[in-house]
Amino acid sequence: MKKVSSKLSIIVPCYNEEEAIPLFYPEVEKAKEKMPEVEFEYWFVNDGSTDNTLLELKKLNKKDPQHVHFVSFSRNFGKEAGLFCGLQRATGNYIVVMDVDLQDPPDFLPKMHQLLAEGNYDCIGTKRADRAGEPPIRSFFARLFYKLINRISDTTIVDGARDYRMMTRQMVNAILSVKEYNRFSKGIFSWVGFKTKYLEYSNKERSAGTTSWNFWNLLQYSIDGIVAFSDVPLNIAAFTGLFSFIGAGLAIIWIITRAVIFGDPTSGWPSLVCIILFVSGIQLFCLGIVGKYIGKIFLEVKHRPLYIVKEEK
């Protein structure tokens, strides 16, 4: 094995993880022992937890104040904000982002570091080998989402890629230069480019606690991803409008011609009502799509900070 001395920053977003943190830290420490040539720092981000997460982080910080740091937000700002904050704080030449629930196995760290240090890649990512253990309905929608977004966006988002990845300083600087407010990390990681190698592993159960995702916020997350990385929905709205306009125009010509030739017996009210409902439905749907983008622009132009820090060590 080639000896390299480097510094690795570990970014860990935590939301209500009081039970998972005490299980996570020793596992990473164990992995650390296999890489004696590497200096470490931790950046835990407490994303407005309502349990004793902050207390647990303070305990770790007290144990090893030189290497364990934490940032505590004033409220829950979401995992994306936590990741961004951690990346901003990291000082290492290699940076890894991982979940605290041990679904991202720490024993991958030496291998990831070794691969990066060899210099052939800028990022060592991870993806799930399969979707075993996942509810079938979630797998179905996840697959649908990846198919859809990869078809309508120029940025490729690898199916099953996890956020667990180790990156070079250069790549992290590129990610930090992406200043958008609506951060869809899966997309941004891919958008900045650089060479990524994916390691695979099967789904793991959470070490403790419960996932903060449910069907609705996953759906919202998917829509946010699509809106952030594709304007195809806007084109669909525009073309739907165009086609229904042309269709209606042709229908009008036909109806007038028919009335002139055959007279105009008043009939066809039910079909008229159906057409009005159909077309106004399309209009509202398209307005909704446009509104979604305008909403994102609104959030973007306000230039609000991504997070507010309450405490930091």
Note the residues at the interface with ligand UDP (CB under 6 A).
13-15, 17, 47, 76, 78-79, 82, 99-101, 103, 211-213
- The minimum distance between CB 42 and Mg ion, in angstroms, equals 18
- The minimum distance between CB 52 and ligand UDP, in angstroms, equals 14
Which of Mg ion, ligand UDP, none does 13 bind, CB closer than 5 to 8 A by kind?
Answer: ligand UDP
Closer residue to Mg ion, CB minimum distance, 150 or 203: 203
- The minimum distance between CB 175 and ligand UDP, in angstroms, equals 17
Residues that bind Mg ion (CB under 5 A): 99, 101, 103
Which of Mg ion, ligand UDP, none does 92 bind, CB closer than 5 to 8 A by kind?
Answer: none
Closer residue to ligand UDP, CB minimum distance, 203 or 244: 203
Euclidean distance between CA atoms 277 and 264, whole angstroms: 23
Is residue 10 a contact partner of residue 98, using CB atoms and an 8 Å limit? yes
Closer residue to ligand UDP, CB minimum distance, 199 or 237: 199
Furthest-apart CA atoms within the chain: distance in Å: 93
Euclidean distance between CA atoms 147 and 251, whole angstroms: 36
Which of ligand UDP, Mg ion, none does 125 bind, CB closer than 5 to 8 A by kind?
Answer: none
- The minimum distance between CB 158 and ligand UDP, in angstroms, equals 15
- The minimum distance between CB 232 and ligand UDP, in angstroms, equals 26
Helix axes 169-176, 79-89, angle to 10 degrees: 130
